[in-house]
Amino acid sequence: MPAKRLPIACALVLSLPSPPVHAVVPEAAADARARATEQQMTDAERFSLVWGLMPMGFDGKRDPRVPPDAVPSAGYVPGVPRLGVPALRETDGSLGVTNPSGFRPGDTATALPAGLALGATFHPALAHEAGALVGREARARGFNVLLGGGVNLARDPRNGRNFEYYSEDPLLSAAMGSEAIRGTQAEGVISTIKHYSLNDNESNRHQLDAIIDPAAHRESDLLAFQLAIERSGPGAVMAAYNQVNGVYACGNAYLLNGVLKGAWGYPGWVMSDWGAVHDWTYALAGLDQESGAQLDAKIWFDQPLRAAYAAGRLPKSRLSDMVRRILRSIYAIGLDQPRPAPAIAPERHHATALEVARQGIVLLKNQGALPLANGKQRIAVIGGQAHLGVLSGGGSSLVTPPGGFAAVVPIGGEGNMAALRNQYFVPSSPLTELRKLLPDASIRYDAGAFPAEAAALARRSDVAIVFAIRHESEEFDSPDMSLPFGQAALIEAVARANPNTLVVLETGNPVEMPWRGQVKAILEAWFPGEAGGQAIAEVLTGRVNPSGRLPMTFPVDQAQLPRPRLPGLGTPYGAPVTVRYQEGAEVGYRWYTLTGATPLFPFGHGLSYTSFAYRDFTVSAGEALSASFTVQNVGPRAGADVPQVYLTAAPEGKRARLLGFERVELRPGEARRVTVPLDPRLLARFDSKAGRWRLAKGTYRLALGKNATELVQAAHLTMDSRLFGH
């Protein structure tokens, strides 16, 4: 379709979006109360708030310093009962309430799909519901702090923790992360936002030094944090394990005192990641609380910090500030208020997990093979333990689902998290669910262990569906983008035996697909959570019309990546590693625009069983900046679309950036006019010298697209030059 130019002559008067109200108690009141309480404290009480322990056992024994009322979990900080300050009872995580090492026997929780699945929904309201669900389940167990809100950008498709995060894009990650945080905090539970910043690779994360240009950092990972923090007001920020430009994130004065508390005016507290503190001086750099302190070489914020205080090296004002920040979040989110225990409706929570999985599944390719018809056909289901369940990621975010895991297959490895590097199967079997939805079909299962055996079954079937899985785990990057355990060869053998072969991927990252031309359809189901098998079966059979869109670019292979070789690959556990993020802010789809390479599947891509048309794309300037368009369902079925607005060029040249999006559900023939707000920071560049955002004078070209590369309509804006914000 030819690009349509809409000249807009006026210069803009830009106003930044005003931060929404997110605190339960007005900010000023929370600040005043925090000041008043802190003033009444003894120094011993002050120091008791600035470090916490893991209230669970090591070597099977409980730490004697942990009081008996602490619920076994990730973190505990005692309260000050005489002043009504509650203890902080902290649990992971973003994908559901965790039960590390099964320390709370029999305690299972709703296991949500991966963060990437939620990101793929492009549906912030669903993220809100997911965040609220975890908040309720946390509070029902006595927790009042959720270690959630992972908004690190998925920069590298080999990063072992991408499955916990939302996307490669700052706007999408902030839109989803902020709603999850708001949902949690509306339940009276503080949420963190984490891991600040650039913990974007896992290999040797404790030694990792992330090198980046500071302006590019502001326009990428830090922009995701900035947008999410101002939209949701998380009570705490968790600083990361790694170094940023040579300084550990937990002791990084530029990141903590400078950007977070200075430029952004963040009023809450900064806690460390678990085992990420290396010195008491981190308190001077802006760290307010040491977490999981047994994991550090010393409890730096206990004796060493007291000694520094006694010697006058930690000013009294700084100690008071650390404590006040913690207290103000407690008051702002209402942790000190009596609240009845929430009534949990497990079926409702299961329904939310199902809905996230449904909306997050992305149909990548479909040559008329899907949806499957319900008839007397022979279907071969092959591999991926599809008879047992669906895969989940490993690490601190791991949730034990109702009924426990269907199977746990140890992978092994070195380091602190090796015991959690397993294939975890959540008991929602795609095979069982397909049989329910296709009662007239004859469905046979083959484990996929031997390609020849699987091919033999495929040959005598009408359709073959291969389930391909790839485990991911905290602290482990994958060495490359392949499917492990010979699954590519399995897919190729099956596809040779049956031209009607479909592939369902359960992965926490993009994978390479050398076999893509030989199969009829490809579905990315991510780690789809406790209702994942049902959601996959519903999409395959057309009960659910797929609407997920890729939150990460799928490269053809790793030669297309900014770092074709994974930094630190093959070095022993604990070896120093430097990751040079030389792509700067040009992460994901922006890298492909810059290099001109064509990815396998672009960011924002996802097919449907119906089709959509766009018209009347306009942009409007004035008090606020916005884009409007009409989207219509022009196909035969009801479905949801996600039209996306991109910047395609700025005055200085070509530049790709997601500016806005909206998930729209439409009946056949139905049309809707949509307006999305545009944040001027997404058009601007960060000027490090001025410490402000800079808009250059000239023409900005925008496009309405189906994804980052399929752009359907164009418009443009003319702007005056301007410095704004921080």
| Distance between CA atoms of residues 14 and 55, nearest Å | 49
Residue 388, both tokens: 């047992």
Tell me the Cα Rg of the chain.
Answer: 25
Chain-centre distance of CA 426, in angstroms? 20
179, 230, 273, 679: which one binds ligand BGC (CB under 6 A):
273
Q: How many CB atoms lie within 10 A of CB 633?
A: 24
- First-to-last CA distance in the chain? 39
Is 290 an interacting residue with respect to ligand BGC (CB under 6 A)? no
Per DSSP, the chain holds a count of helices (H) and strands (E) of 16, 31
Q: In the annotation, is 213 catalytic?
A: no
In the complex, minimum distance from the CB of residue 54 to ligand BGC, in angstroms, rounded to a whole number: 8
**For residue 387, is the peptide bond before it cis, meaning its omega torsion is within 30 degrees of 0?**
no
Q: Which of residues 499-538 bind ligand BGC (CB under 6 A)?
A: none
Q: Which of residues 194-233 bind ligand BGC (CB under 6 A)?
A: 194
In the complex, minimum distance from the CB of residue 504 to ligand BGC, in angstroms, rounded to a whole number: 29
**Are 118 and 535 in contact, with CB atoms under 8 Å apart?**
no
Query: What number of CA atoms fall less than 13 Å from residue 372's CA on the CB side?
Result: 31
B/e letters for 274-308, b = 16+ CB within 10 Å, e = fewer, are bbbbbbbbbbbbbbbbbbbbebbeebbbbebbbeb
In the complex, minimum distance from the CB of residue 194 to ligand BGC, in angstroms, rounded to a whole number: 6
Q: Which of residues 138-197 bind ligand BGC (CB under 6 A)?
A: 147, 194
Q: Nearer to ligand BGC by C-beta: 147 or 190?
A: 147
Q: Nearer to ligand BGC by C-beta: 74 or 228?
A: 74
Is 396 an interacting residue with respect to ligand BGC (CB under 6 A)? yes
Q: Tell me the residue ranges of DSSP E strands in 281-406.
A: 362-366, 378-382, 390-392
The residue with tokens 């995060």 is 165
Q: How many residues line the site for ligand BGC (CB under 6 A)?
A: 7
As a three-state string, the secondary structure of 132-158 is HHHHHHHHHCCCCEECCCECCCCCCCC
In the complex, minimum distance from the CB of residue 92 to ligand BGC, in angstroms, rounded to a whole number: 5
In the complex, minimum distance from the CB of residue 225 to ligand BGC, in angstroms, rounded to a whole number: 15
In the complex, minimum distance from the CB of residue 123 to ligand BGC, in angstroms, rounded to a whole number: 24
Q: Nearer to ligand BGC by C-beta: 164 or 230?
A: 164
| Distance between CA atoms of residues 581 and 217, nearest Å | 9
31, 45, 92, 209: which one binds ligand BGC (CB under 6 A):
92
Q: Nearer to ligand BGC by C-beta: 115 or 606?
A: 115
Is 324 an interacting residue with respect to ligand BGC (CB under 6 A)? no
Q: Nearer to ligand BGC by C-beta: 148 or 602?
A: 148
Give phi and psi for 581, each to the nearest 5. Answer: -85, 70
| Distance between CA atoms of residues 493 and 500, nearest Å | 12
Residue type at 466 in one-letter notation: V
Instruction: Check 31, 156, 221, 273 and give the catalytic one.
Output: 273
Q: Nearer to ligand BGC by C-beta: 416 or 595?
A: 416
Pinpoint the alpha helices (H) of 65-169. 115-121, 124-140
In the complex, minimum distance from the CB of residue 20 to ligand BGC, in angstroms, rounded to a whole number: 26
Q: Nearer to ligand BGC by C-beta: 219 or 475?
A: 475
Is 558 an interacting residue with respect to ligand BGC (CB under 6 A)? no
| Distance between CA atoms of residues 570 and 482, nearest Å | 16
Q: Which of residues 595-654 bind ligand BGC (CB under 6 A)?
A: none
In the complex, minimum distance from the CB of residue 208 to ligand BGC, in angstroms, rounded to a whole number: 12
Is 74 an interacting residue with respect to ligand BGC (CB under 6 A)? yes
| Distance between CA atoms of residues 267 and 259, nearest Å | 12
Query: What number of CA atoms fall less than 13 Å from residue 337's CA on the CB side?
Result: 15
Q: Nearer to ligand BGC by C-beta: 91 or 558?
A: 91
Please, is 327 exposed, middle or buried when counting C-beta atoms within 10 Å of its C-beta (0-12, 13-18, 19+)? Answer: buried
Q: How many CB atoms lie within 10 A of CB 22?
A: 20
| Distance between CA atoms of residues 70 and 68, nearest Å | 6
In the complex, minimum distance from the CB of residue 165 to ligand BGC, in angstroms, rounded to a whole number: 11
Is 274 an interacting residue with respect to ligand BGC (CB under 6 A)? yes
Residue 346, both tokens: 């497990």
Q: Nearer to ligand BGC by C-beta: 31 or 90?
A: 90
| Distance between CA atoms of residues 467 and 423, nearest Å | 14
Sites of contact with ligand BGC (CB under 6 A)? 74, 92, 147, 194, 273-274, 396
> Could you give the residue numbers annotated as active site?
273
